[in-house]
A and B are shown apart, each in its own frame.
Chain A
Amino acid sequence: NAGVTQTPKFQVLKTGQSMTLQCAQDMNHNSMYWYRQDPGMGLRLIYYSASEGTTDKGEVPNGYNVSRLNKREFSLRLESAAPSQTSVYFCASSDGVPNQPQHFGDGTRLSIL
């Protein structure tokens, strides 16, 4: 049981390049989330998908797009990467019913030069 799997684990991009971060979960969860983690800032929600077929903006959505491909997969796309998007990106999933915890992937460490 892998839980939440993120690819790639590390990536270096040049300013202006595009990239898609992949996330898949095998827990049959309804809800999925993308966070970014910066030093001293905690975890900030970029986008979420409450259920298959829906996506919504979180706290810091600018510069990102998402796709809920199916129940298992939720991808995050940077169309034109900027140095301010250098961060660690975490995907998470939850059952989607009230008061249930979120389970995180191992993260993607993204550097934009």
Chain B
Amino acid sequence: GENVEQHPSTLSVQEGDSAVIKCTYSDSASNYFPWYKQELGKRPQLIIDIRSNVGEKKDQRIAVTLNKTAKHFSLHITETQPEDSAVYFCAASTGWGGSQGNLIFGKGTKLSVKP
């Protein structure tokens, strides 16, 4: 089955710097890759997702890149702000029905943005 590895587990940056979180996946059939942000004590919330027919997607200060050949995808946050501090989870799915449609999550990256 699918396995998703996420690095680093913790990341500390200065306000205004960029942050990059990387994930690798094992199942070459995976074609959907969402990223979730979870603030302390809150629910995971989708911040951006990418499908395998594109290599990059941007939404304001957030971007995700996908390299299907190498089976890895990354989250890029530019001009970080203190409110970006949270735990970020990547996930992968083959997108098909039944169990193959389920998301497999990485173990999370705790991002701290220092003012």
List the interface of chain A (C-beta within 8 A of B): 31, 33, 40-45, 48, 50, 56, 58, 90, 96, 98-99, 101-107
Contacts and interface: CB of A to CB of B under 8 A. Distances in A.
A104 B31 contact: no
Contacts of A50: 97-98, 101
A101 B99 contact: no
6 contacts: A42-B6, A42-B106, A56-B99, A98-B97, A102-B103, A104-B45
A8 B31 CA distance: 35
B96 A103 contact: no
A107 B39 CA distance: 13
Contacts of A107: 43
Contact of B32 (A56, A99, A103): A99
Contact of A31 (B45, B101, B106): B101
B95 A98 contact: yes
Contacts of B101: 31, 50, 96, 98
Contacts of B89: 42-43
A43 B90 CA distance: 10
A96 B103 CA distance: 12
Contact of A90 (B43, B49, B95, B96): B43
Contact of B107 (A31, A42, A45, A90): A42
A106 B102 contact: no
Interface string B36-77: 100000111110010100000000000000000000000000
Contact of B43 (A31, A42, A58, A104): A104
